[in-house]
Amino acid sequence: MESPQPEETLYERAEHAARFIRARLGVEAPRTALVLGSGLGAFADELEDAQQFSYEEIPGFARPTVEGHAGRLVVGSVEGHHVAVMQGRFHFYEGYRLDEVTFPVRTLGLLGVRSLVLTNAAGGLNNSFTQGSLVVISDHLNLMGVNPLIGRNDPRFGVRFPDLTEVYDHEFQDIAVREAQGMSLELRRGIYAALTGPSYETPAEIRMLRLLGADAVGMSTVPEAIVARQMGMRVLGLSCITNMAAGVTDQPINHEEVIETGERVHATFAGLLRRIIPKL
């Protein structure tokens, strides 16, 4: 009787996915990657010399179930710079475990990515933000009640207790603000609060988040940022304020509005990314 085969570790699964992508590319893997949030995925369609991979093709990748997340990895060029772009992400609220949610970031890190741009659609808490504003994330509040590093640590990914003093790279933040100024675009800095969702927050919860110092709120990004930092990647976070949070205005909130606002600011968002990417 054959002894059972040992189950692959998370590291081995991510390594397998990275090998699959590298073999399919046939060229050197990119050092810069982006994750595009709700309604922001159109940027991936503008890459030059693009190669596309459905998430279903890539070993270990889950499948997004939310409108506005196409579920493709696109590798191509932006202003002559080789990049990998995740056209959509998976979320904890879809029923995926955090090791599944962050698996693409693990894979990108093993592929050789050293600079990661995380984007999202977010609700605005700060009264100086308006619908359609772009915000560079300066720090975050992890209010999801869980951490992607819980469980057995594999030192090949990084240390057991990573330092999060500077999750979002200060130099990258300065680059983003400076490039926005070159477009006559005001890019504010703000603290992003992550909750699980999928329900939107109540007005009482929004008042709590404001007291805690949050400027924007969403349901993603933070687990990916934590994993990226454990692996030594430098992270830039960008939020598109697609709606004002509950109680900030009298308007009800819906996902259609999130998608519509993301599409409306696409040209500005894409223009900013085109200026930022060569500087990372």
Residues with catalytic annotation?
A: 38, 69, 91, 93-94, 121, 219-220, 243, 255
- On whether the CB atoms of residues 55 and 73 are closer than 8 A, the answer is yes
- On whether the CB atoms of residues 17 and 60 are closer than 8 A, the answer is yes
Count of C-beta atoms within a 10 Å radius of residue 210: 18
Query: Looking at the chain, how many residues does it have?
Result: 280
Structure tokens at 254: 């819906």
Calculate the alpha carbon distances from 42 to 15, 165, 194, 259 in Å: 28, 33, 24, 11
Question: What 8-state DSSP symbol labels residue 125?
Answer: -
Sign of the dihedral through C-alpha 248, 240, 93, 155: negative
Q: Are strands 134-142 and 188-194 parallel, antiparallel or unpaired?
A: parallel
Give dist(CA 78, CA 95) in Å, integer: 34
Structure tokens at 248: 């900030």
